[in-house]
């Protein structure tokens, strides 16, 4: 794959991933009824946790979008993926989730591909 294709795929998946994560972060930060319904009523997390996780997701999105800072970017990708894995597990284990767990494969895949092309673009150790 040439450098231009890798760069395009990197930005496509990074923007898609950032859009999904920010789209879930904003209702959390604002403690909107939809977020409370899903996180507190559906999954059983305390209400005080909702703006915390939303802020963490928003900071992670900022970190993966700004240029430079490779160490922070690595941590941001890891944190966002931990959030998604935890959310997937929580949905799988919840007695009355709002939706099926396999819907979470969409952001998980977008995140994995964004990270894969990040490594391809900025680190030659990925073949």
pLDDT one-digit tens code per residue, 103-122: 999 999 999 999 999 999 98
Identify the burial level of 50 via C-beta atoms within 10 angstroms of its C-beta, where 0-12 means exposed, 13-18 middle and 19 or more buried. buried
Mean pLDDT of 44-55: 96
Closest by Cα among 74, 59, 58 to 24: 58
Mean pLDDT of 82-106: 92
pLDDT of 46 reads: 97
pLDDT of 96 reads: 76
Residue with tokens 């231009």: 4
Instruction: Tell me: pLDDT of 67 over 80.
Output: yes
pLDDT of 61 reads: 98
pLDDT of 125 reads: 59
Mean pLDDT of 92-108: 90
The pTM score is 0.91
């Amino acid at each position: 794959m040439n450098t231009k294709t890798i760069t395009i795929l990197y930005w496509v998946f990074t923007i898609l991933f950032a859009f999904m994560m920010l789209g879930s972060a904003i209702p959390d930060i604002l403690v909107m009824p939809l977020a409370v319904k899903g996180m507190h009523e559906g999954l059983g997390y305390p209400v005080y946790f909702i703006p915390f996780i939303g802020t963490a997701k928003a900071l992670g999105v900022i970190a993966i979008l700004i240029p430079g800072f490779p160490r922070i970017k690595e941590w941001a990708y890891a944190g966002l993926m931990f959030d998604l894995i935890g959310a997937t597990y929580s949905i799988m284990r919840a007695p009355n989730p709002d939706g099926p767990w396999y819907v979470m494969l969409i952001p998980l895949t977008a995140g994995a591909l964004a990270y894969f092309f990040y490594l391809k673009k900025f680190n030659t150790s990925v073949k």
